[in-house]
Structure 1
Amino acid sequence: MIEVDLPRFERLLAKALDTLPAAFAEMLDNIAVVVEEEPTEEDLRLVGLDPEEDDLLGLYHGVPLDERGAGYSSLPDRVVIYRLPILWICETEADVVREVRDTLVHELGHHFGLGDDDMPY
């Protein structure tokens, strides 16, 4: 585990965002990316995980593009990046940037309607 305080983690998140391909970066226009310390038990149960055994690196909150109807609100969807679970599995800041990037790509996949089994991360 690497020790990284919240301000430094947010800078590493910004670095990870900078490494996304331009096409992905453009897709973040109406998606808020936020950092939280760790998922709640409710977050874990929401995605079918056991709070006693499992952890979560990120979570997409929103309506996937392929499920939106004509009356969809323009409020931004959210991708939550969980700081502590990411730090628990990383040994270096480079690992953190890579893991945050992979988590962002995974959660953006949910934005496009992909399931967990459909994604490379």
Structure 2
Amino acid sequence: MTVAMAAQEFELLVQQALDEVPDELLALVENCVILVEDAPPPDLAGLLGLYDGVPLTERGDFYAGVLPDRILIYRLPILAVCDTHEDVVEEVHITVVHEIAHHFGIDDDRLHELGYD
């Protein structure tokens, strides 16, 4: 069952999830924007979020003058996998943390070990 939620309310949940990330970690997020979109591109259907950029662990001397990395949180797929408002809150939190972890260079295998599937 899909949960109905307006885009503005969903964006507020993303902001709340970001507010729960420790300030010490957020201070380390560099050259990265976090955006909410309704859905991923058709070739990535089903994704809940996406990190698009160069992780901090792979940046070297060459990393200069580039556009910001992007963390994309996809509203409609998240709503589609949730049954309740509380499920949406939890899934948004998990997805935001998951994508920020990719910015820090943490891969999916390690995230799975940590319980962020």
TM range (shorter): 0.7 to 0.9
Deviation of the 1:27 alpha carbon: 3.2
In 2, Cα distance between equivalents of 1:16 and 1:94? 13
Q: CA deviation at 1:85?
A: 0.7
Matched, 1:71 2:72: no
State the Cα distance separating 1:36 from its structure 2 match.
Answer: 0.9
- CA shift, 1:8, in A, is 1.1
Q: CA RMSD in A?
A: 1.7
Unaligned runs of 5+ in 2: none
Find out whether 1:62 has 2:74 as its counterpart. no
Give the total of aligned pairs: 111
Given the two structures, how large is their TM-score scaled by the length of structure 2? 0.83
SS in 1 for 2:79: helix
Q: 1:88 aligns with which of 73, 80, 84?
A: 80
Q: Tell me the CA shift for residue 17 of structure 1.
A: 1.3
Task: Work out whether residues 16 and 101 of structure 1, in 8 Å CA contact, stay in contact via their aligned partners in 2.
Answer: yes
Q: Which runs of 5 or more residues in structure 1 are unaligned?
A: 45-50
Identity of aligned pairs, percent? 49
The 1:118/1:97 distance shift into structure 2, 3 A limit, reads same
TM-score (norm 1): 0.80
SS at match of 1:59: strand
